[in-house]
């Protein structure tokens, strides 16, 4: 069972202001509508202020403005953690509780793991059952391979990285420190490179050898079933602090800048460079050989087919959904735009 911690200790640990009972014991976090006296919830968007007033949460994480409103408007006696970034504090508090309740992992190599004699594995590492580690692999301290993980030859994994089951890291790839690779991730598979040759016998697609690597920085998280292709000749590069949702596809020779985030089912075609601190919505796709500026935001479902040079922009190409009958009418209008354009040009000439 999770050992309770007090509000005062929590506020001191994160160096944030609080108001209320410093000795209040807390057991975890919960949404506003179901949180109870010994749980913490948070308020970020002012539209949920009324829900916060009605919440039974023992502690609310909020900013100074929301704190003033809730305290003056609420008849309940409760405690508060006050932060300029309540959402980030909520995430860190959640991590804190997760660490406390986590079952300790015993270091060592499971007898059913297959480890090449030349691999360098510190005693602090955990190698679970049915893991396979190739020749020349180098692991940092406190690396955890949960089970059924394959590391190819000469792979390097930084300290405090955790790799979940059914993940494969191909030969020569590098993963940084404090990374998390969820189940089914594939790092370093061949990029999609084929040269057309239709000169003889009906033609064929000639495979281009993919001889580069994948280099992943520190503090990167890869969601389940994410794939990152190795470079054709140069390396595919993922910067520090990037976070990827499930089923993201990164093509060969792509470069992703530090602290960029991508939601599920997004894809980047080969040789595109995405800047730092970009926010990419789900089901977004990028054509190949583009350059995307830093701090670019892309709405979900958008297709990016040209480079973006100005940093800080927000781009959307998704047409809002509507009823099918209305969509058919709009589609008919769109199909006739070229004809309408020509009519306008002809009328312009007549007016002149």
Strand-pair category, 204-207 with 168-169? unpaired
10-18, Cβ contacts within 8 angstroms, sequence gap of 24 or more: 10/81, 10/93, 10/96, 11/81, 13/96, 14/81, 14/89, 14/92, 14/93, 14/96, 16/81, 16/82, 16/83, 16/89, 17/81, 17/82, 17/83, 18/79, 18/80, 18/81, 18/82
Question: CA–CA separation, 338 vs 345, rounded Å?
Answer: 11
Selecting among 110, 252, 259, 324, the annotated active-site residue is 252
Question: CA–CA separation, 310 vs 307, rounded Å?
Answer: 9
Q: Closest by alpha carbon to 157, among 182, 184, 125? A: 125
Q: Is 252 a known active-site residue?
A: yes
- Determine the distance from the C-alpha atom of residue 309 to the mean position of all C-alpha atoms in its chain, rounded to a whole number: 23
Question: CA–CA separation, 247 vs 263, rounded Å?
Answer: 9
Q: Check if the beta carbon of residue 128 is closer than 8 Å to that of residue 147.
A: yes
Q: What DSSP character marks residue 321?
A: P
Q: Check if the beta carbon of residue 82 is closer than 8 Å to that of residue 67.
A: yes
β-bridge mates for residue 29, sequence order:
40
Secondary structure of residue 43 in the 3-state scheme: coil
Q: What are φ and ψ of residue 308, in 5° steps?
A: -115, 115
> Could you give the C-alpha distances from 85 to 8, 16, 124, in angstroms and in order?
19, 11, 35
HEC sequence for 174-240? EECCCCEECCCCEEEECCCCEEEECCCCCCEEEECCCCCCEEECCCCEECCCCEEECCCCCCEEECC
Q: Element (H or E) spanning 75, and its range?
A: none
Residues annotated as part of the active site: 252
């Amino acid at each position: 069972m999770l050992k309770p911690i007090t509000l005062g200790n929590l506020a001191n640990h994160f160096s944030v202001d609080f108001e209320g009972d410093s000795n209040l014991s807390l057991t975890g976090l919960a949404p506003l509508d179901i949180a109870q006296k010994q749980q913490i919830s948070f308020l970020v968007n002012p539209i949920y202020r009324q829900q916060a007033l009605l919440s039974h949460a023992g502690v609310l994480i909020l900013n100074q403005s929301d704190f003033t409103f809730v305290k003056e408007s609420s008849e309940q006696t409760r405690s508060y953690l006050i932060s300029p970034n309540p959402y980030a504090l909520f995430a860190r508090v959640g991590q804190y509780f997760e660490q406390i309740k986590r079952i300790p992992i015993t270091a060592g190599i499971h007898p059913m793991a297959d480890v090449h004699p030349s691999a360098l594995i510190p005693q602090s590492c955990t190698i679970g059952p049915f893991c396979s580690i190739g020749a020349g692999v180098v692991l940092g301290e406190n690396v955890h391979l949960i089970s059924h993980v394959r590391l190819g030859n000469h792979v390097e994994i930084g300290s405090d990285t955790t790799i979940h089951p059914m993940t494969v890291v191909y030969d020569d790839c590098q993963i940084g420190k404090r990374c998390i690779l969820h189940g089914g991730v594939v790092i370093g598979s061949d990029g999609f490179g084929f040269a057309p040759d239709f000169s003889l016998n009906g033609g064929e697609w000639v495979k281009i050898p993919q001889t580069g690597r994948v280099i992943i920085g520190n503090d990167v998280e890869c969601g389940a079933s994410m794939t990152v292709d190795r470079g054709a000749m140069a390396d595919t590069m993922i910067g520090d602090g990037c976070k990827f949702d499930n089923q993201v596809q990164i093509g060969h020779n792509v470069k992703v800048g530090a602290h960029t985030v991508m939601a599920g089912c997004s894809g980047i075609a080969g040789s595109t460079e995405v800047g730092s601190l970009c926010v990419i919505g789900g089901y977004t796709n990028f054509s190949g050989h583009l350059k995307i500026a830093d701090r670019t935001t892309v709405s979900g479902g958008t297709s990016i087919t040209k480079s973006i040079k100005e940093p800080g922009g927000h781009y959307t190409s998704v047409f809002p959904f509507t009823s099918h009958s209305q969509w058919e009418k709009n589609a008919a209008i769109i199909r006739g735009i070229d004809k309408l354009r020509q009519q306008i040009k002809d009328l312009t000439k007549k007016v002149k």
